[in-house]
Amino acid sequence: MKLPETCREHAALISSGQDRELSAAERAAIHVHLLTCYGCSAWNKHMSVMQSTMARWRSGE
Amino acid sequence: MAQTAGLAADAAASRSCLLRFARLQLRNDTWAEDVVSETMLAALEKPDSFGGKSSLKTWLVGILKFKVIDCIRTHSREVASSVNCDEDTELEELLFAPDGHFRADAYEWPNPEQSLNSKQFLAVMDVCIDEMPPTIGRVFLMREWVDFMTNEICKQPSVSSSTVWVLLHRARLRLRECLQQKWFGAREQGHTA
């Protein structure tokens, strides 16, 4: 599988991490990218906020 | 008997919530009304299976999910024909520059925990999901609400796993923009004003 290069590709891969198991190489690529990329770090954080929100939303309370 | 009557009244109180979920997922008012009625019937026919371990609403939502899945399966052909994988292709072009960088500066979402406890925030979430284009919204809810795994979603329309991942990603990009616009960004402005 082709590893991500741009932010656009990293953002898509971070998203896919919620739907499938990422390979070790993919996880490593994301990890390294997040160290230096502010935009993708924000995306990563926002994804987890959205995940928690969906959990709350799902419960219908 | 009195117990069943009490359950019926409590269940009726949850009806609007169930209908909201069903509408968002099915995007068809008639189907939504049907699955909610079936859910109510199923609940009233088997009141004993409500063990009181969870809240009544949670129990009903659990039944509703099965009814929604049944409904999607029954109408699979209609659902499949309405799937549009090319929906929202321009979204990524809007958010990312040709070199693949985010176009806009990253924004902060301060105190997300506080938002999570806000009813208004969850209402904004509703609006954002409702505003998603139909295919993306439906696939997103199959994944997030019905808890379908990608391979189960793929059984529905003739869609490959990678297409589903793309659609889910677009849904999340959209959701983030919507939450930023309607909640986090709006609050920031309120603070500085």
Give how far B78 is from chain A: nearest CA, Å. 25
Secondary structure class of B179 (helix, strand, coil): helix
Q: What is the DSSP letter of B102?
A: B
> What is the reported pLDDT for B67?
93
Tell me, what's the ipTM? 0.94
pLDDT tens digits, B89-134:
888 989 999 999 999 888 889 888 898 888 899 899 989 999 998 8
| Residue matched to tokens 């009814």 | B67
> What is the reported pLDDT for B10?
78
pLDDT tens digits, B59-81:
898 899 899 988 988 887 777 67
Cα Rg of chain A, angstroms: 13
Distance CA B12, CA A61 (A): 15
Q: How many CB atoms lie within 10 A of CB B55?
A: 14
Distance CA B172, CA B132 (A): 10
Greatest mean pLDDT among A23-37, A44-58, B52-66, B144-158: A23-37
Secondary structure class of B96 (helix, strand, coil): strand
User: Which chain A residues have any C-beta within 8 angstroms of a chain B C-beta?
Assistant: 5-9, 11-12, 15-16, 18-20, 38-43, 45-47, 49-50, 52-54, 56-61
Contact B169 A12 (CB under 8 A): yes
Looking at the complex, does the CB of residue B165 fall below 8 Å from at least one CB of chain A?
yes
The residues, ordered by sequence, that sit 6+ positions from A4 with a Cβ below 8 Å of its Cβ are A10, A12, A13, A26, A29, A30, A33
Distance CA B153, CA B160 (A): 9
Asked if residue B24 has pLDDT above 80, the reply is yes
Distance CA A6, CA B101 (A): 7
